[in-house]
Chains A and B, each alone.
Chain A
Amino acid sequence: MSKKFLSTVAVTLLTLGLVVTGCGTQPSAPTAPSTTPSASGGAIKIGLPLPMTGSEATYGKDMENSIKMAVDEINAKGGVNGKNIVTVTGDDACDPQQATAAANKLVSEGVVAIVGGYCSGATIPTLTIYNEKNLPFVITAANSSKIAAQNPGNTFEINGTAVHQTQKAIELFKKLGAKNVAIVEQGDAYSADLAKQTEDSWKAAGNTVVSHDVTNKGEQDFSSLVTSLKSKNADLVFWTAYYADGALLIKQLRQGGYKGAIVVGDGSSDLKLIEMAGAAGEGTYVLSPPVAEYLPTAKQFADAYKVKYNQSPGAYAPLAYDGMKLMADALQRAGSTDGKTIIKALSDTKDFIGLAGKVNFAADKTLKESNFIVLQIKDGKFVLLP
């Protein structure tokens, strides 16, 4: 009986202690349970939900670097409406549960706007959390078509969506004269969505999809798939998931004697793809978000990034940079930190010139014009296709 009591005390103390420690580790959290976003002490707080741990951490770090660079530039020019921007990063680890926790954390820290979002699957559940506090959200990478469908009204995507990417893909397939297209995805929200959109569009145009396969993330052996695709006379293989497994698929396709075209989606658009696919990667077509190297306006950005962070900017760096600059621009136009006003300002964006081109929003708050480009791997490098 007494042991039980001691135990109860232990639980109480432990729980309290942990909770209190949790309170204590909150940087400058408001003591009142209010979560009204405030330009506290003359700074504008912007939250950045990004994958900082887990398999997509390199993208998260890259985007964070890029956003911070934009913030430094903005603050150097006097900030927004006379106030400096301060960023708070929330790690979503590309996981819906962690993303929700991170989102709540950002909200509780009194941010006035959100810029970021890489994994669609992790980003979608957070949309309503931000919307409840009327926080404007500029999504800089995640682009599943479900986002627009689930948009509670506060979310703007500046990355081409799966719809845009599908258009680009179909264009490319036609250009390459493909007859038997095979689609391979990984069963996650992003790749499954892109795969389905592409399949539907390709078939709607009267063409053939010979195979639609799902592989497991982390599985390295594609031999059975390769044999199967060859037996079906596929002349174009479209990989809609990420670069690591995509590189392996490319290698094994070529190793197995596949001679047709290989196209990969923007989830695989990464320099690592070239490295990991090696010689087999030659000739692979890559659908990509606007990458710094190929944007005439972005040379300055790429150089500055290299100087500051000692490495080249990643695939989503320009969009992340644009996202922050766009948010700052909207804040300036809104003239206040009131969520609804900023959202309206974002909707009204007219011809905002970013690194990736012009930004205008359609009624569903996605880009009016797609900004996808097609690259090809030639001589171990990405080359822009006209």
Chain B
Amino acid sequence: MGNSVALRDRLRARLGSRKTQGVALAVLIIMIILLPLFANNYIEEVATNTLFYIVLALGLNIVVGYAGLVDLGYAAFFAVGAYTTGIFMKFGVNFWLTIPIAVLFSVIAGIIIGGPTLRLRSDYLAIVTLGFGEITRITARNLKITGGASGLVGIQRPSIFGHILNQITDFYYLFFILVVLAVIVAMRLHNSRLGRAWQYIREDEDAAEAMGIDPVLTKLYAYMIGAAFGGIAGAFFAVKMTAISPETFAFTQSAMILLAVILGGMGKIPGAILGAAFLVLFPEIFRGIGQTRMLFFGILLVIIMVFRPQGLWPERKG
């Protein structure tokens, strides 16, 4: 036992320098940028999907991981963003202009959903958010403006500086940029006053309140920001798929995103990224085994949770 500890310490010492970390990160980023050069359409599609889910997972991580709120209806924000973009584009609005509109509507949705319910106990909050998720989906299914059950089809592809974005590679880079932005925002939030307030509330809400933090308002901010993430992701989703239907925003979707966040390790940015990657890549890699792949996924999930309930990402010390 003494040997292994020493080995770990030596490795840590050698690899722990910031320089090495920076290099590793740079290598990772370069590889991601170069991926389209040696990958085919399918791999790019899967990678783009992964990046997309990473954005969603980072958004939900703020709600669930930072602020400790259980949200079983996150897909609602995603839906609001996607449909807003889809509908406004049908009226001729330029895609890039619909993004702030989509964010606005998503945040409003966040306020509507969060406002009256955030003071509820976490389990009730979970159910309420689930209810709102379903309400959003059914509303989208029933209204004419959202295209009814068939959804919105034929959404135009956006163009940037005259170049039309309709290749998978375009979306790959676009989502990569989104991921980078999302990570930066998430990190800044975590280290901000708001981020510390969230941590405080998670640890001991009563003490936080005694110190002058308004728990309901602070949680609401988490909700709004998470909603904004979802809304942006939704907007880009709409133009990538060119067709959105209510079924995409069913409870299963919310459950998946939550899975990604918790599987990877709640509250940690690399955890959310890892969880999202696992979630997307697992079913794709095992496409070969067909039907049984989701069965294995379920079993694997149970095994991982039983043996590592804190998530796949290693715990931070202290």
On whether A and B touch (CB less than 8 Å), the answer reads yes
Q: Which residues of A pack against B, CB within 8 Å?
A: 1-9, 11-12, 14-16, 18-19, 21-23, 25-26, 29-31, 33, 35, 52-53, 57, 91, 95-97, 100-101, 104-105, 107-109, 120-121, 124-125, 128, 132, 144, 146, 149-150, 187-189, 191-193, 214
Interface size class of B (residues with CB under 8 A): 35 or more
Contact A26/B38 with A16-B31, A53-B290, A150-B154 known, Cβ cut-off 8 Å:
no
Contact A189/B16 with A19-B47, A53-B291 known, Cβ cut-off 8 Å:
no
Residues of A within 8 A of B46 (CB): 22, 101
Q: How distant is B62 from chain A, measured CB to nearest CB, in Å?
A: 20
Residues of A within 8 A of B18 (CB): 1
A105 and B154 alpha carbons, distance in the complex (Å): 21
Residues of A within 8 A of B242 (CB): 125, 128
Contact A4/B245 with A16-B31, A189-B149 known, Cβ cut-off 8 Å:
no
B21, A5: Cβ atoms closer than 8 Å: yes
Contact A132/B166 with A3-B316, A11-B273 known, Cβ cut-off 8 Å:
yes
B41, A4: Cβ atoms closer than 8 Å: no
A35, B20: Cβ atoms closer than 8 Å: no
Confirm or deny: B184 has a beta carbon within 8 angstroms of a beta carbon on chain A.
no
A91, B287: Cβ atoms closer than 8 Å: yes
Confirm or deny: B313 has a beta carbon within 8 angstroms of a beta carbon on chain A.
yes
Q: A5-B24, A19-B35 are in contact. List 10 more A-B contacts (CB 8 A).
A: A6-B15, A8-B270, A12-B28, A14-B274, A15-B277, A101-B49, A108-B42, A108-B43, A121-B150, A150-B154
Contact A25/B168 with A33-B39, A187-B149, A193-B150 known, Cβ cut-off 8 Å:
no
What 1/0 flags go to B1-34 for Cβ under 8 Å of A?
0000000000111011010110011011001000
A132 and B242 alpha carbons, distance in the complex (Å): 13
A23 and B44 alpha carbons, distance in the complex (Å): 11
Q: How distant is B46 from chain A, measured CB to nearest CB, in Å?
A: 6
A8, B24: Cβ atoms closer than 8 Å: yes
B277, A108: Cβ atoms closer than 8 Å: no
The residue that B20 contacts in the complex, of A5, A7, A121, A144, with Cβ under 8 A, is: A5
* Chain B contact surface mostly: helix
Residues of A within 8 A of B13 (CB): 2
A30 and B43 alpha carbons, distance in the complex (Å): 12
Contact A192/B148 with A7-B313, A12-B27, A26-B40 known, Cβ cut-off 8 Å:
yes
Confirm or deny: B141 has a beta carbon within 8 angstroms of a beta carbon on chain A.
yes
Residues of B within 8 A of A25 (CB): 285, 287-288
A22, B281: Cβ atoms closer than 8 Å: yes
Q: How distant is B264 from chain A, measured CB to nearest CB, in Å?
A: 10
Chain A to chain B contacts (Cβ below 8 Å), 29 pairs: A4-B316, A5-B16, A5-B20, A6-B11, A9-B24, A12-B31, A15-B277, A18-B285, A19-B39, A19-B43, A19-B47, A21-B285, A23-B43, A33-B38, A33-B39, A33-B40, A35-B40, A53-B290, A96-B241, A96-B244, A101-B49, A104-B45, A107-B41, A108-B42, A144-B150, A146-B150, A150-B153, A150-B154, A189-B151
A214 and B285 alpha carbons, distance in the complex (Å): 37
Residues of B within 8 A of A1 (CB): 16, 18, 21
B287, A124: Cβ atoms closer than 8 Å: no
The residue that B314 contacts in the complex, of A3, A33, A121, A132, with Cβ under 8 A, is: A3
A35, B150: Cβ atoms closer than 8 Å: no
Residues of B within 8 A of A132 (CB): 166
Q: How distant is B204 from chain A, measured CB to nearest CB, in Å?
A: 26
Confirm or deny: B36 has a beta carbon within 8 angstroms of a beta carbon on chain A.
yes
Residues of A within 8 A of B27 (CB): 12
A29, B285: Cβ atoms closer than 8 Å: no
Q: How distant is A262 from chain B, measured CB to nearest CB, in Å?
A: 22
Please give me the residue from chain A that is nearest to B44 by CB atom: A104
A91 and B293 alpha carbons, distance in the complex (Å): 13
Residues of A within 8 A of B150 (CB): 120-121, 124, 144, 146, 189, 192-193
A14 and B275 alpha carbons, distance in the complex (Å): 11
Confirm or deny: B317 has a beta carbon within 8 angstroms of a beta carbon on chain A.
yes
A9 and B270 alpha carbons, distance in the complex (Å): 11
Q: How distant is A31 from chain B, measured CB to nearest CB, in Å?
A: 8
The residue that A121 contacts in the complex, of B247, B274, B313, B317, with Cβ under 8 A, is: B247
